[in-house]
Structure 1
Amino acid sequence: MSAWLDVMYVHVIFACIAMIGGAMNFSNTMLQMFQRFHWLNGYVYIVSVMVVVFLIAEIVVRSVLRDSAR
């Protein structure tokens, strides 16, 4: 059951990063005044979403393999 708890921790942390970063990129003022920050923030958003997807997939696969070996 601890694998699911690890999944939840990873999900919550990176989901918070993605939500804050995604919300900031909707601002036209942010885009016009801070274009470089807007661009970097977009990459941070994409990376945080991909970390969640790949890390959770790995944890789930390991959990399933471990449970099937029992």
Structure 2
Amino acid sequence: MRFGLYGVSLVSWGLAIWLFMDAQQGHHALKLLPIIDYNRPQGIFGWAVTIAVVCTFVSIGVHNQRVYQLRARRHSSQK
């Protein structure tokens, strides 16, 4: 699950960066705004950034939970 989240977040960040660079080169970067409006992501750029942020936070949480479980298991085996 963790590697799938890493993949989705990497693809989403890559898409968001590519969309931003493409808009920047075409001198219409402000057309990407607003990213979130009316409590919803707006446009492909808004969805890419939202999915990237959510997947990044979830993958960090999954990783931290795994590290905590390994430390707890190691600590309990030392007693």
Name the structure 2 match of 1:23.
21
Name the structure 2 match of 1:54.
54
- In 2, Cα distance between equivalents of 1:10 and 1:20: 15
Name the structure 2 match of 1:68.
68
Structure 2 counterpart of 1:24, one-letter code: D
**Comparing both chains, which one has the higher relative contact order based on Cα–Cα distances under 8 Å and sequence gaps of 6 or more?**
1
- In 1, Cα distance between equivalents of 2:61 and 2:48: 20
Query: CA separation of 1:23/1:56 partners in 2, compared to 1, >3 Å: closer, same or farther?
Result: same
Gaps (5+ residues) in structure 1?
32-37
Please say if residues 16 and 48 of structure 2, whose CA atoms lie closer than 8 Å, have aligned partners that are also in contact.
yes
> Identity over aligned residues, as a percent?
10
Pairwise CA RMSD of aligned residues?
A: 2.7
Number of aligned pairs?
Answer: 59
Deviation (angstroms), 1:57: 0.7
Higher strand share: 2
Query: CA separation of 1:11/1:25 partners in 2, compared to 1, >3 Å: closer, same or farther?
Result: same
TM-score (ref. length: structure 2): 0.50
